[in-house]
Chains A and B, each alone.
Chain A
Amino acid sequence: MADQLATASQRGLRPALPLLLPAYLWLTVAIFLPLSAMVFFSFMTDLPLAGKEWAFTLGNYAAFFSQSLYSTLLFASLRLGLEVTLWCVVIGYPAAYVLAKVLKGRSREAIFLLVILPFWSNGLVRIFSWAMVLREGGILDTALNAVLPFKINIDLMYSYPAVIIGLVHSYVPYMVLTCYLTLQAIDDSLIEAGRSLGASRRQVLWRVIIPLSMPGLIAGSALIFVPVVGSFMEPRILGGRTGTFYGTVIEDQFVAVFNWPLGAALSFILLAVVLIILALAAPVLRRAG
């Protein structure tokens, strides 16, 4: 069991340093210094380039508060993150349970690999393939019309539902994976014990299984919520005219408009919000477990 403490007993930082240094040095150069640079940039008016005037300003941050469109978009992105995560829990957790508890041996391995494999197909082309399924006259529309006695017109493309479907499809394997890892570690004898003591299936589920697999649910949720909140690619392609989110606006600053300081400020605000949410959510969920 993962809970068994098997840590070492040697003291001191010095012997650990040569092992630690390379990895953490890399992280410093590639992550922590850039983040610091981004904070620095976010307080400038312009990129410090030869020939261009620049000065320090709080204007970029002020823009977030003065223009309501940014906070509207931020809420939209947060809401998107939450919805996608919830759908992934609803869809992914039962699948993980079946994988961990119902399937055995070869079939379990095979299905496990099949669930992971979509990770290896290119995300963008997958999204584009959804366009073929969801659009008017697309596969879903044609299939439903062939089956149902009356004519209906399904056109889900370029809408909020399409963005949700695309994102859930991309990220649900994370949830299945993390929940599987924790569910698989739950000893079957615990479940049997609960049943033999007279508990109903539902009680066993709520009182034993879910609490024990909470770490998997939390890990999966974090792995899904964080990227989705910042996503811009799927909303752009699937969302059509409703596809503007916080992530797309930030992307615009760096690619189209070229206002890097504003992009940096907006990014940092997003980061702060995400970290606050993660910090608040973790103890709440842990207590529920």
Chain B
Amino acid sequence: MATTRILEWLGRFYIVLLLGFLYLPIIIMAAMSFNASPFYQLPFEWTTDWYASLWQNDQLIAATWNSIEIAVITTIISTVLGAMASLALYRYEFRGKKVLQALLFPPIAIPWLITGTAMLIFFFGVGIGRGLIAILLGHVALALPYVIVVVSARLQTFAPELEEAARSLGANQWQVTMRVTLPWIMPGVIAGGLFAFAVSFDQFVVSYFLSTPGQTTLPVEIYAAIRKGFTPEINAVSTIIIVVSMALMLLTARFFKFGGEK
């Protein structure tokens, strides 16, 4: 038992190390947002100027709002469409079902670089061009497989007898879905939604190819700034985002169990 105890403590220590590794650049990023030097020069000089000038930076703010809007819309669309598709794949047997399931694979299996450039080519040829609509189209497509996988996983734990029982009691398909199935799979739907939001909000590669000056998302705007010349305002906005995300995560953790406890 002693060895187990030692191993367990080693394990905990390892987690601490890993968290240190994960958060080192984030802490630096946040620290530099309060540093006066525009070139990340040390010694450290405290200032909140970057946060102040961030409010004047219309481009960054516009890009941030774009990112949030697109992420929210992406989440709604992909969650609804994805849940519907998962239900269909769960309930029905038909020829070609395996093919359809396999077709969910490409968006994840294909490097975003290729998906992004392919979308660029196609949208350009078809006349959709670049911009926020194109980005939205791309994001939903990227998020859908994640939603379907997560909701399907949750459906695997659902007992079909419940649906049958409800139907035998006289409920029609719609009532069965809304009153029986949906409540059960709700945690999966929410998890899928969170995944979709994350996929959309931090998506860089596809957004990069589909954006055009004036219609960009935050990651793209930051990349453009890094390439063309920037100030630690981008540190400021990134720090704000991570603080807000932390708060949101804590809130959702209050209400939904993440640990997957049985």
**Minimum CB distance partner of B206 in chain A:** A30
Residues of A within 8 A of B15 (CB): 95, 98-99, 103, 111
Residues of A within 8 A of B108 (CB): 222-223, 226
- Tell me whether B28 and A30 are in contact (CB under 8 A): no
Q: Is B158 interfacial (CB-CB < 8 Å)?
A: yes
A122-B241, A125-B235 are known contacts. Are A9 and B160 too (CB-CB below 8 A)? yes
A26-B81, A121-B29 are known contacts. Are A6 and B118 too (CB-CB below 8 A)? no
- Tell me whether A23 and B202 are in contact (CB under 8 A): no
Q: Out of A6, A17, A30, A128, which one reaches B156, CB within 8 Å?
A: A6
- Tell me whether A22 and B125 are in contact (CB under 8 A): no
Residues of B within 8 A of A2 (CB): 153, 156-157
Residues of A within 8 A of B98 (CB): none
- Tell me whether A27 and B113 are in contact (CB under 8 A): no
A30-B119, A31-B115 are known contacts. Are A13 and B110 too (CB-CB below 8 A)? no
User: How many Å from the CB of A229 to the closest CB on chain B?
Assistant: 6
Given contacts A173-B22, A278-B109, 12 further A-B contacts (CB under 8 A): A23-B85, A31-B115, A32-B106, A36-B122, A103-B15, A121-B29, A129-B32, A130-B25, A230-B112, A232-B113, A264-B118, A264-B121
Give complex CA distance A227, B25 in Å. 21
- Tell me whether B25 and A133 are in contact (CB under 8 A): yes
- Tell me whether B94 and A122 are in contact (CB under 8 A): no
Q: Is B165 interfacial (CB-CB < 8 Å)?
A: no
Give complex CA distance A268, B40 in Å. 40
Q: Please provide the chain A residues from 132 to 170 with a CB less than 8 Å away from any CB of chain B in the complex.
A: 132-133, 139, 169
A97-B11, A122-B222 are known contacts. Are A27 and B107 too (CB-CB below 8 A)? yes
Residues of B within 8 A of A (CB): 3, 7-8, 11-12, 14-15, 18-19, 21-26, 28-29, 32, 40, 81-82, 84-85, 87-96, 100, 103-104, 106-115, 117-123, 125, 137-138, 140-141, 144, 148, 153, 155-160, 163, 198, 201-202, 204-205, 209, 218-219, 222-223, 226, 234-235, 237-238, 241-242, 245-246, 249-250, 253, 257-260
Q: Is A54 interfacial (CB-CB < 8 Å)?
A: no
Return 11 A-B CB contacts under 8 Å, by A number: A2-B156, A9-B93, A17-B88, A23-B82, A24-B100, A37-B122, A112-B259, A121-B26, A123-B219, A125-B222, A133-B24
Residues of B within 8 A of A251 (CB): 113
A111-B19, A233-B204 are known contacts. Are A117 and B249 too (CB-CB below 8 A)? yes
Residues of A within 8 A of B (CB): 2, 4-13, 15-17, 19-20, 22-24, 26-27, 29-38, 41, 48, 91, 94-95, 97-99, 102-103, 105, 108-109, 111-133, 139, 169, 172-173, 181, 184, 201, 222-223, 226-227, 229-233, 237, 247, 250-251, 254, 260, 263-264, 267-268, 270-271, 274-275, 278
- Tell me whether B94 and A30 are in contact (CB under 8 A): no
Q: Out of B84, B104, B158, B198, which one reaches A6, CB within 8 Å?
A: B158
**Minimum CB distance partner of B113 in chain A:** A230
Give complex CA distance A276, B197 in Å. 30
Centre residue among A7, A41, A108, A260 by max chain B CB count within 10 A: A7
User: How many Å from the CB of B129 to the closest CB on chain A?
Assistant: 13
The 7 tightest CB contacts between A and B, nearest first, are A230-B111, A30-B141, A34-B122, A129-B25, A19-B88, A230-B113, A120-B245
- Tell me whether B28 and A267 are in contact (CB under 8 A): no
Q: Out of B202, B234, B258, which one reaches A109, CB within 8 Å?
A: B258
Give complex CA distance A175, B155 in Å. 23
- Tell me whether A37 and B125 are in contact (CB under 8 A): yes
A117-B245, A226-B110 are known contacts. Are A129 and B118 too (CB-CB below 8 A)? no
Centre residue among A34, A48, A231 by max chain B CB count within 10 A: A34
A-B Cβ contacts below 8 A, count: 281
Give complex CA distance A15, B8 in Å. 52
**Minimum CB distance partner of B11 in chain A:** A98
Give complex CA distance A285, B122 in Å. 36
Residues of A within 8 A of B235 (CB): 125
Residues of B within 8 A of A268 (CB): 114
Give complex CA distance A7, B94 in Å. 12
Residues of A within 8 A of B96 (CB): 13
Centre residue among B100, B123, B141 by max chain A CB count within 10 A: B141
- Tell me whether A227 and B112 are in contact (CB under 8 A): yes
Give complex CA distance A146, B138 in Å. 49
- Tell me whether B117 and A254 are in contact (CB under 8 A): yes
- Tell me whether A109 and B259 are in contact (CB under 8 A): yes
User: How many Å from the CB of A22 to the closest CB on chain B?
Assistant: 5
User: How many Å from the CB of B257 to the closest CB on chain A?
Assistant: 8
- Tell me whether A271 and B92 are in contact (CB under 8 A): no
**Minimum CB distance partner of A105 in chain B:** B259
Residues of B within 8 A of A103 (CB): 12, 15
Centre residue among B22, B107, B108, B109 by max chain A CB count within 10 A: B22
